Structure 1
Amino acid sequence: MKRILLLIYISVAWTACLFSQQTVGHILKNFRESASKSVLVVSHRADWRNAPENSLQAIRNCIDMGVDMVEIDLKKTKDGHLILMHDRTIDRTTTGKGKPEDYTLAELRQFRMRNGAGHKTAHQIPTFEEVMILCKGKIMVNVDKGYDYFKDTYSILEKTGTIDQCVMKAGLPYERVKAENGDVLDKMIFMPVVNLHEENAETIIDGYLTHMKPEAFELVFDNDGPDVQRLIKKVRDSGARIFINSLWPELCGGHDDDRAVELRQPDESWGWIIGQGAKLIQTDRPVLLLEYLKSKRLHE
């Protein structure tokens, strides 16, 4: 009987492994196809409403719900480990106090993560390597606050065999990013972040289109005026994918999550973003956005 149960367990685990590999392959295929066929959901700090932000559990939740990409943030410990942490200090999100770089990884493991309500949980701060092992074959990863560790990040991606699953980004001109990262830049998926209201926004866009032709641009704008829409169209017409945040109004010209959910205007929120040709939408409401996209036949 035990032998039969063991064989069943192995069979189920193997099937799950194959399914995960097919899933990330499917996500990558969708990432590179037209936005008119599918839109990808990016979950902000993973599933922070139901688990501590930037925790392994929050990422597992996103994998289970069918999210395409999780957004995470990185810091470095005193002994050189990359960990997931958004703030400059660990005060808000853990039971500890101070800066992560003042602790070794072993010391940070003594603390516990707090949930969105500030309550202590059983979860520990994960390392970036642990995250990529968890995500391998299952989901893409968007490193938001982590540009300072560009080359260290690449080393871990190479070690875990997950280079094609991770998107790095920075709100910097091409010339600086290339000078600071050299050939490593060409080995990764890199997404420039451009605030469309800055005076040099179009110059930054043109620099990347001339020298690099990024697979995607993250575009930030606090209104949806004609010049904003002109620049969005310029990026779209270049063939690059468009990444738009619907987290709060100042990031997407007022077409945010709360407008979709609390005001019950999803077509004026997510629908408007989709109408701009966005391929990726970062949200704090992943389940509801997934449902909306499925209703429009834009997510399988």
Structure 2
Amino acid sequence: MKMPPWLVSLILLVPLMVQAQEVGLHRISPRTPQDLQAVLQFKGQHLPFVSAHRGGPAKGFPENCIATFLHTLQHTFSMLEIDPRRSKDGAVVLLHDPTLERTTTGTGRVTDFSLVELRQLRLKDTEGNATPHQMPTLDEVIEWARGKTVLVLDQKDVSAIERAEIVARHKAEAYVMLIVSSFKDAAAVHQLNPNIVMEVMIPTVAKAREFDQLGIPWRNVIAFVGHTPPEDVALYDFIHGKGACCMAGTSRHLDLKVLRGEVAEISELEQGYRSFLSLGADIFETDIPVLLGPMLHSDVTALKQPFFELK
């Protein structure tokens, strides 16, 4: 189908718009794998900043989209959690769902379409409106993110080993980490590449002790303690005692109150977020990074210079 001239013009302008937006970003810029490990190491104080779930989508800004990543980094220091999936011809693109309907102008399964076909689609924003933005490939996003942020690659249909190989091919261990779905996967990734940092689900003290027996250095790990942060202080103390940070999800409870309009200002929920910090959470995986992140800026910049900079 032939696109209208106005849409063609807008699509041609997007690369120039993106280039112009790459100033004034809240950058996290570890240069080596050891730098990334240092950023995420627990040193006796909490490290309160955010990981933007699916990149931080909002009105006008689709999930898993470079324009959205820029929008997030214009407002806050943030890691970017993103979702790799395979196309029909083996390319790795970014899309959360296995099907196209919710977040693109297409229909059907991602794996039924080639990269060229997927590129013809437009991404939808959080209100279901089509935008001029195309689906990016993982390769493109990894190269774009260098010197800007830390990417967190969820699993979806690209295995842990495959994702580890992609990171190594880009020499991106300094700023790309993996979510792994099991301790078995964590051990396999570490054996393949001991420089890769992983986000591992560790929701109980028993699981923390089990992980400790694997022999994977805790400097290679962020412990994801749960989508509803557990109230067992012993869990946070155990993980912190190993020198690792704890990530807690807020997208399924506190964030929803903001997104549903149940509170006028995020400040009304600040005590709730701070209570998780008091328990021992260090990093929030959130659907509202633009709102939540700035609440935590002063703590981050004081703790982690020179890896955090506004530039």
Contact 2:155 2:181 (8 Å CA) reproduced: no
Higher relative contact order (CA 8 A, sep 6+): 2
Partner of 2:200: 192
Distance 1:30 1:40, change over 3 A: farther
Map 1:162-173; keep pairs closer than 5 Å: 162-172=172-182
Fraction of identical pairs, as percent? 21
| 2:178 match: secondary structure | strand
Partner of 2:224: 218
Partner of 1:235: 239
Q: One-letter code of the match for 2:56?
A: D
TM-score (norm 2): 0.76
Are residue 94 (structure 1) and residue 98 (structure 2) matched? no
Partner of 1:25: 30
**Superposed CA RMSD:** 2.9
Structure 1 unpaired stretches of 5+: 1-12, 250-255
| 1:234 match: secondary structure | helix
Distance 1:185 1:142, change over 3 A: same
| 1:219 match: secondary structure | strand
Contact 1:82 1:128 (8 Å CA) reproduced: yes
Distance 1:161 1:65, change over 3 A: farther
Contact 1:259 1:265 (8 Å CA) reproduced: no
Partner of 1:277: 280
Partner of 2:12: none
Partner of 1:298: 299
Map 1:36-51; keep pairs closer than 5 Å: 36=45, 38-50=47-59, 51=61
Shift of 1:218: 0.3
Contact 1:132 1:160 (8 Å CA) reproduced: yes
Q: One-letter code of the match for 1:216?
A: I
TM-score (norm 1): 0.78
2:280 and 2:105 mapped to 1: Cα distance? 42
Are residue 71 (structure 1) and residue 74 (structure 2) matched? no
Structure 2 unpaired stretches of 5+: 1-18, 302-311
| 1:115 match: secondary structure | coil
Q: One-letter code of the match for 2:76?
A: G
Of 248, 255, 258, the match for 2:252: 248
> How many residues matched?
268
Contact 1:93 1:118 (8 Å CA) reproduced: yes
Shift of 1:267: 4.0
2:190 and 2:29 mapped to 1: Cα distance? 28
Contact 1:147 1:168 (8 Å CA) reproduced: no
Deviations 1:70-95 (A, max 9, x none): 11111111111111111111111111
Contact 1:36 1:277 (8 Å CA) reproduced: no
Partner of 1:4: none
